[in-house]
Amino acid sequence: MKTAVLTIVKIGLTLGLFALVLRSIDVSDVILHIKRLPALTVLVVAVLFVVQMIVSAIRLSAITGIVAHTVPLAVTVRINWIGAFFSQALITFVSGDVVRAMILTRRCAIPMRNSARSVALDRLIGLLSSLLIVSLTASWAIQLTGDETMRHSIVVMAVAGIALIAAFAFVGYLARHPALAQAARGKIKEYRVIYAILDTLSVVRHLFTGWRHIPKILLTSLIIQFINVAVIFNLINGMGAEVSMWQCLMIVPTVMLISLLPFSIAGWGLRESAMATGFSLIHAPAAAALAASVMFGIFTLLLALPGGVLWWWSDNKMSLPER
């Protein structure tokens, strides 16, 4: 019952966000921009998404190597693809993460606790890489607008990003030292929500013990973010707008961060609102920005569908070789 109510609320919020965006944008104009999309751009975007799936699988393989033992790339590609399918099918990326953890446990001989840690660390590193890019590009993003409210919002987001990165690093460092961690747990154990959050964030400690894998994890995380930027760059320019890659770099990571907020179905509505607002700063056509966001969502949905096929046929194909 609770899940059904939450789903209905999310559907309502998603539709409401779309309604707000479409108040100032003609739907026929959005459709016209989508029809302008060249076939070559469609192909390039599809290839970029597949490459992104492979790169994210490389990152997951490196992370499992830190937390438990290395899982072969072919296996992590399947796991991520199946997770992407369930993220779309079950409305939220958390569902996909739960499925990924289950497969790591059932097919890769990794205990459930370590599987959950691996997936949580994978998700946290993705979040941190977005925050890092947003923080580093904030000084240039401010120059996109003369609106003081928007400027203050960019500064707040940049400062919050740096603070969160520092907080993750501190929690990870603290968790490496048993005496300090035990003392901290004793003081916050009564606050169950805070305790649960900090216990989850403590997976960052694995980065300190597996520091040799950090360059690969950092590089793959940044590549994943840059592919998102490249996808939007190709989509919005393919629809007739004139936007530079640098401008996309200052806008898209923030949009992707906003779309992760658990207020709508798979980020729909939130992403479109943020995209239209972000690209309005550089005077790009609002209809083109909205159309690019819609096509981004459609590509994400369509390219997740093979994950369902992999799930159906993967009963005996994900076991690790004898160690």
The greatest distance separating any two alpha carbons of the chain, rounded to the nearest whole angstrom, comes to: 63
Position 323 scores a pLDDT of 38
pTM beyond 0.75: the answer is yes
* pLDDT tens-digit map of 70-81: 899 999 999 999
* pLDDT tens-digit map of 206-228: 666 666 778 888 899 999 999 99
What CA–CA distance (Å, rounded) separates 214 from 1?
43
Task: Report CA-CA distances (Å) from 60 to 56, 120, 173, 221, 253.
Answer: 6, 10, 21, 10, 21
Residues of the chain whose pLDDT is less than 50?
316-323
- Among residues 36, 50, 43, the alpha carbon closest in space to that of 237 is found at 36
157: left (phi over 0), alpha (psi -120 to 50) or beta: alpha
3-class SS shares of the chain: helix, strand, coil, % to 5: 80, 0, 20
What CA–CA distance (Å, rounded) separates 272 from 296?
10
Position 13 scores a pLDDT of 73
What CA–CA distance (Å, rounded) separates 19 from 273?
10
Position 320 scores a pLDDT of 41
